[in-house]
Amino acid sequence: MDVAMRKHQEATVLVNFASLRSAYDSTMQAMQHPQINTVVIIAEGIPENMTRKIIKLADDRGVNIIGPATVGGIKPGCFKIGNTAGMIDNIIGSKLYRPGSVAYVSRSGGMSNELNNIISKEADGVCEGVAIGGDRYPGTTFIDHLMRYEADPNVKMLVLLGEVGGVEEYHVCRAIKDGRITKPLVAWCIGTCSDMFTSEVQFGHAGSLAGSALEKAAAKNKALAKHGAVVPDSFDTLGAAINKHVSNKFSVSSSDMFTSEVQFGHAGSLAGSALEKAAAKNKALAKHGAVVPDSFDTLGAAINKVYKKLVSEGKIIEKEEVGPPKVPMDYDWARKLGIIRKPAAFVSTICDERGQELSYCGVPITSILEKQMGVGGTISLLWFQRELPDWACKFFELVLIVTADHGPAVSGAHNTMVTARAGKDLISSVVSGLLTIGDRFGGALDRAAADFCAAYDRGQHPQEFVNEKRAKGELIMGIGHRVKSINNPDSRVRELKAYVTSRWPAWPVTRYALDVEAITTRKKPNLILNVDGIVAAAMVDLFRHCQLFSHVKSINNPDSRVRELKAYVTSRWPAWPVTRYALDVEAITTRKKPNLILNVDGIVAAAMVDLFRHCQLFSQEEGNSYISMGSINALFVLGRTIGLVGHYLDQKRLKQPLYRHPWDDITYMSPLN
């Protein structure tokens, strides 16, 4: 605040939107700056002892306080405080875009908005209006603002809307009697029904509580009318009081119908004595010359009558009405009503959090939980925008399990551990591991799926496929392992293969991948269908047949992950031709080298192709589209992230120091030596 004051030394008014917890401190701080002469406190609920301290300091420093618990005020054509007068359409409807000749003061912010409306219809509009706030101890009172209006030559007529509780209206009566207020005043104190209650009732505000007869609305209305104010019979006739002669007959004020204290909402709307009741106030106001209508209903008429009299006397010169300025609609309001729309910058089809409940692809989150759809079902909705069958969802979860981690020696885990030991945070450490995922490490699924798909769709024999790759000098994605071989199979691939071949409605791509494995392992036992390969083939088969879509391993040391994936796919897929194809390729590659097995990437890729093609939930075009998007690689990324987070936590748990790679593991070669 000190910085703001230094930068804006011409500012004299502070509008304090702080909550009740900090409004006191910020207000007291603001009053330490001599440039501030007015503070508006919006917050309600400030303890009364704190409010009294604010008022004491304000009096000492000559600062005007509007509030607490106020909606603010408005000076049409100049400024409105906070939410005063509501939205643009209401401001235009009440002609608050230009000044009129009538100034009002009220306790209630909500009722001040109604006064804006009444005055715009029964007179030429509002010149200024202030709601002093509903607390028992307002910073400024009715008389403070009425005296300002009295001194303002632009104000020709005054309106006071008091309430049950407090005796501020009697100060107005004395000001009229003493001649300090000479301008016509139309006044009404609401809450005349307070006497109908047999116990203390508060009408909304803290200040709307009559502690005595004088504080009741009826007494105030009576006093205002007595002293020359135009006081209508009720709030309903406030408008009519402007047009009609003020009746000297007062109906029974509603507050007099109650035999005990009644509080009307505000803390200040409580009559502690007979004088604080609305009826007593209305009577006093009328007695001292205020125009007091019979009720709020005739308040408008009373205002209109006084206004027309001032016009006829030449004290108010009616001006030609000017149209409202063109003000843009409030965007949020107009959009909510459907008047306008804005082209979206982003389009999202998988998740919607706008309603009462989060939904994935239109399925409420509670329904997902009730159906126990699990992680696999969630992936089916968020990734593929449909509810895939249980066997497909189970496959996703199986892939996540077998790809979650593969020990600290692989590149992803290594990078994560090194980064963690360098003192980096979890996200940075995990990302460093994720960035190593590619064709050589865990990221071969998409290419494996594409290769197995293309070869299978061309009707190319697995041996021809292997020969073609050899001739081009290209690696077969999804084939080969650094540790596992056909003699030491990867159990992950085995399980995936078994699942796909037993559950897929069709798995031709998976079968093709297995045929490739049979070939590659004849060359080298480690050219097995790895996890990437089995998942890729199985996913292709899934996309095609679910009917919902259009390296250190060897054949002698098989990758158990691939074995498990292979078993899962071959036992669960309704069809797994791509997986079979991948297995055929493995049979060929392992003949050359035993480590040219179908790896995890290969089995997952083939199985996913079979899933897309044979689960009967994808068209072939949709399945191919999901493959090209990278959806199969996403399985590995998601699963491996679990392991990378585990490595990060492990390094932190073990309090490992900063990592520095040993010199003896580095070959230093300088071209100058």
Kindly write down the DSSP assignment for every residue of 282-305, as one continuous string: HHHHHEEEEEE-SEEBBHHHHHHH
Average pLDDT, whole number, for the chain?
86
Mean pLDDT along residues 29-36? 96
- pLDDT at position 492 over 70: yes
Q: Which CATH superfamily is domain 73-312 in?
A: Succinyl-CoA synthetase domains (3.40.50.261)
- How much is the pLDDT for 245? 40
Q: Which residue type sits at 526?
A: N
Helix residue spans in 385-530 (DSSP H): 390-403, 411-421, 426-434, 445-457, 462-472, 491-503
Condensed to tens digits (0 to 9), the pLDDT of residues 437-465 reads 888 787 788 899 999 999 999 999 999 99
CA atoms within 13 A on the CB side of 569: 58
- How much is the pLDDT for 247? 37
- How much is the pLDDT for 386? 87
pLDDT band at 249; cut points 50, 70, 90: very low
Helices 278-286 and 168-178: crossing angle in degrees, nearest 10, is: 10
Which residue carries 């449909």 as its tokens?
386
Helices 577-589 and 491-503: crossing angle in degrees, nearest 10, is: 140
- pLDDT at position 105 over 90: yes
- Residues 635 and 631: their CA atoms lie apart, in Å, by 7
Alpha-carbon dihedral 605, 609, 612, 616, rounded to 10 degrees: -140
pLDDT band at 127; cut points 50, 70, 90: very high
- How much is the pLDDT for 250? 36
CATH class of 2-66: alpha beta
Mean pLDDT along residues 4-33? 95
User: In which region does residue 618 sit, left (phi positive, over 0), alpha (psi from -120 to 50) or beta (all else)?
Assistant: beta
- How much is the pLDDT for 29? 96
- How much is the pLDDT for 160? 96
DSSP letter (8 states) at residue 318: P
545 and 578 in contact (C-beta within 8 Å)?
no
Domain limits of the chain? 2-66, 73-312, 445-631
- Residues 46 and 63: their CA atoms lie apart, in Å, by 19
The dihedral through the CA atoms of 563, 567, 569, 570 has a sign that is positive
- pLDDT at position 265 over 90: no
- How much is the pLDDT for 646? 72
168 alpha-carbon distance from chain centroid: 44
Give the residue among 492, 490, 497 at the shortest CA–CA distance from 511.
497
**Higher-scoring residue by pLDDT: 165, 215:** 165
pLDDT band at 351; cut points 50, 70, 90: confident
pLDDT band at 184; cut points 50, 70, 90: very high
Condensed to tens digits (0 to 9), the pLDDT of residues 623-650 reads 888 888 888 888 888 877 877 787 787 7
Condensed to tens digits (0 to 9), the pLDDT of residues 511-559 reads 999 999 999 999 999 999 999 999 999 999 998 888 887 634 556 666 6
pLDDT band at 670; cut points 50, 70, 90: low
- How much is the pLDDT for 601? 87
Q: Which pair of structure tokens corresponds to residue 9?
A: 């030394």
The one catalytic residue in 33, 205, 288, 545 is 205
98 alpha-carbon distance from chain centroid: 36
415 and 432 in contact (C-beta within 8 Å)?
yes
2-66 shares its CATH topology with 73-312: yes
Verify whether residue 205 is a known catalytic residue: yes
- How much is the pLDDT for 40? 97
pLDDT band at 108; cut points 50, 70, 90: confident
Condensed to tens digits (0 to 9), the pLDDT of residues 145-160 reads 999 999 999 999 999 9
Q: How far is CA 274 from CA 165, 190, 195, 262, 480, in A?
A: 10, 15, 9, 11, 97
Mean pLDDT along residues 287-303? 92
Which residue carries 């939410």 as its tokens?
83
Give the residue among 255, 257, 264 at the shortest CA–CA distance from 108.
264
- pLDDT at position 248 over 50: no
Condensed to tens digits (0 to 9), the pLDDT of residues 188-241 reads 998 887 666 666 656 566 566 666 677 777 888 888 888 888 888 877 777 777
Counting residues of the chain whose pLDDT is more than 90, the rounded percentage is 50
Which residue carries 């979890």 as its tokens?
426
Which residue carries 């292979």 as its tokens?
566
**Higher-scoring residue by pLDDT: 56, 194:** 56
pLDDT band at 344; cut points 50, 70, 90: low
Q: Which of 125-134, 206-215, 371-380, 564-573 has the lowest mean pLDDT?
A: 206-215
Condensed to tens digits (0 to 9), the pLDDT of residues 389-410 reads 999 999 999 999 988 888 898 8
User: In which region does residue 672 sit, left (phi positive, over 0), alpha (psi from -120 to 50) or beta (all else)?
Assistant: alpha
Cβ atoms < 10 Å from Cβ of 177:
15
591 and 499 in contact (C-beta within 8 Å)?
no
Which residue carries 């009730």 as its tokens?
370
The dihedral through the CA atoms of 408, 413, 418, 424 has a sign that is negative
Mean pLDDT along residues 606-625? 90
pLDDT band at 671; cut points 50, 70, 90: low
- Residues 155 and 151: their CA atoms lie apart, in Å, by 8
Helices 426-434 and 631-653: crossing angle in degrees, nearest 10, is: 130
Cβ atoms < 10 Å from Cβ of 217:
40
